[in-house]
Structures are given as C-alpha cells and as structure tokens.
Amino acid sequence: MHEEGAKIVVVDINRDNALKVAENINAKASGSATAFVADVADEEATKAMIDHAVDTFGRLDILHNNATALEVGAVKDLSLEGWNKTLAVNVTAPFLATKYALPIMIDQGGGAIVNTASISGTRGDYGMSAYNAGKAAVINFTRSAAIENARFGVRMNCVCPGAIDTPAIKGLTGAGSASIGYVSVAGGGEIPALEADHSRQVREKMANAHPIGRLGQAVEIANTVLFLASDEASFITGAAYIVDGGLTAHTGLPAMM
C-alpha cells in the first residue's frame, strides 16, 4: 500500500509489532505511517482506531480487516472461550471496523474495504470448526455489506487465501515457534513441536496439496488486497477472491494421468 502512495495506520494488539512496521515505512518516507495499539474485537478500541486514522491523515479511503484468531481442536474438545475468541476476532472485529468506517467513507464520497477471509470459509478443515465458521461468516458479511453500500460509492470485497507461508503456518507445522499468540489448542497448552523430519513432511504435504506445488507467500495476498482496494477494481464489489494456488479447484480425487 505504501509503495503505491498510501499513508498507513498500522494496528496490532502487540505494540512492538505495530511500531516495527510503522518505523520501517517511515524510514522510507517520514510521516507516512503511524502505529496504533488495539484489540479489534473491542468496540471502543476499534472506534478509536478509526478516529485515529481520520485525525492523523484527514480521511479514510481503505480499510483492511486482517486480524485473526484460531483455536485448534475437535468440536467435542473446543472450549466456549476459544470458540468465542475465534469468532470475536474473525467476525465481530471486521463488523465493528466496518460499522465505524462506513459513515466516514460515505460522507467523503466513497472508499474500499477488504476483509481477509479464507478458503476455510468455503470448505471444512479437521480441527478448525470455529475458524471455518468464522471465515464463512466473513464471506457472507462482506456480500451483505457490499450490496447495502454500493450506491454510496463504498466497495467491499474479501480475499480467500490458501495456505500461506506465515508464522502461523510455521507454528502449526512445527517449522517455527509454536508460541503464536492467536493460535491455541483446545484444552490448553501449545501446539506440539514436531520432529524436523515430520515437520518437513507436513509442510511438503501442505505445499503439494496446492496444484501450483507450493505454499503461497504473504506478498501474493498483499498484492490481491492492493488490487481490490485500488481504482483498477472499480467495478468489483461483493466478491470473494480465491487465492489458493488452485487448491479448491480440485475435487480431491487422485490424479488419473
């Protein structure tokens, strides 16, 4: 976004993370970014986040709802606390940010909102029912909000990534730290560490599940978000963009050739 000329409010529940990203942007162009600490599942914090953007830069043209949370476990083992936290961050947070961004965007004549959903909102995964439910909700929330606000010049879309090579995936496959703040295991504890060989096999299976033969990269999702937020996507609203290396194009049947 910054490379294309945007000024950025970097929001994270972790102050150090937010400051690091904002400082990296400002090292390229001073005054282009500011850090803001918020739990985006909290209404007052989210309203303050939107107000901060307008107070700092004078307007709000793009909102990207990208926070996530995940409790891993079979349905019978999920805690109500884990279920509620997963839905609060994945569903309530985009709703709150959108709710407070819309009046500003409508008043200024338009804007673009992009939500991060997932292919897990279009299919089921073992041990991820709360996440699946939340991401499915994001997709249909995006559609409803899009048609409500299209005539006001506000476009709203979501991106549905496949498996992306992020710290969360590294933690889930044992290839990186298991201590990821927004991923928990039903019943408590951390994601169990995997032996190096097993970790490599899990990652290879995950990569090979994608017909393109690899995990996605974060920049590939960022580029999709950038496109959906840009004027080049001016006739696109209410869409769920699948960016998964062909994963959901496959029926799951074995190759016949």
DSSP secondary structure of 120-181: GGTS--TTBHHHHHHHHHHHHHHHHHHHHHGGGTEEEEEEEE--B-SHHHHHHHTSS-S--T
Q: The domain containing residue 137 runs over which residues?
A: 63-246
Helix, strand, or coil (residue 35):
strand
Give the integer Cα–Cα distance in Å for 39 and 67. Answer: 9
Query: What does the pLDDT read at residue 181?
Result: 45
Examine residue 23 and state whether it is found in any structural domain, yes or no: no
Examine residue 48 and state whether it is found in any structural domain, yes or no: no
Enzyme catalytic residues = 131
Name the pLDDT band for 140 (thresholds 50, 70, 90).
Answer: very high
Q: Which of 121, 80, 109, 97 is nearest to 42 (CA)?
A: 97
Examine residue 171 and state whether it is found in any structural domain, yes or no: yes
- Write out pLDDT tens, residues 159-184: 999 999 987 776 665 554 443 445 67
Examine residue 163 and state whether it is found in any structural domain, yes or no: yes
Name the pLDDT band for 195 (thresholds 50, 70, 90).
Answer: low
Overall average pLDDT of the 51-77 stretch: 96
Examine residue 253 and state whether it is found in any structural domain, yes or no: no
Q: Which residue has the higher pLDDT, 7 or 257?
A: 7
Name the pLDDT band for 196 (thresholds 50, 70, 90).
Answer: low
Based on the number of CB atoms within 10 Å of its own CB, is 31 exposed (0-12), middle (13-18) or buried (19 or more)?
Answer: exposed
160, β-bridge pairs: 242
Give the integer Cα–Cα distance in Å for 1 and 66. Answer: 14
User: DSSP labels for 179-243?
Assistant: --TTEEETTSS-PPP--HHHHHHHHHHHHHTSTTSS-B-HHHHHHHHHHHHSGGGTT--S-EEEE
Examine residue 5 and state whether it is found in any structural domain, yes or no: no
Name the pLDDT band for 206 (thresholds 50, 70, 90).
Answer: confident
**Nearest 5°: phi and psi at 176?**
-145, -165
**Nearest 5°: phi and psi at 105?**
-65, -40
Examine residue 129 and state whether it is found in any structural domain, yes or no: yes
Radius of gyration of the chain (CA): 19
CA 224 from chain centre, in angstroms, equals 12
Name the pLDDT band for 200 (thresholds 50, 70, 90).
Answer: confident
Helix axes 43-57, 93-108, angle to 10 degrees: 30
pTM above 0.85, yes or no: yes
Query: What does the pLDDT read at residue 221?
Result: 97
Examine residue 233 and state whether it is found in any structural domain, yes or no: yes
Q: Does the pLDDT value for residue 117 go beyond 60?
A: yes
Q: Does the pLDDT value for residue 101 go beyond 80?
A: yes
Give the integer Cα–Cα distance in Å for 184 and 192. Answer: 11
Q: What total of structural domains would you count in the chain?
A: 1
Give the integer Cα–Cα distance in Å for 44 and 99. Answer: 12
Query: What does the pLDDT read at residue 177?
Result: 44
Give the integer Cα–Cα distance in Å for 50 and 242. Answer: 28
CATH code of residue 224: 3.40.50.720
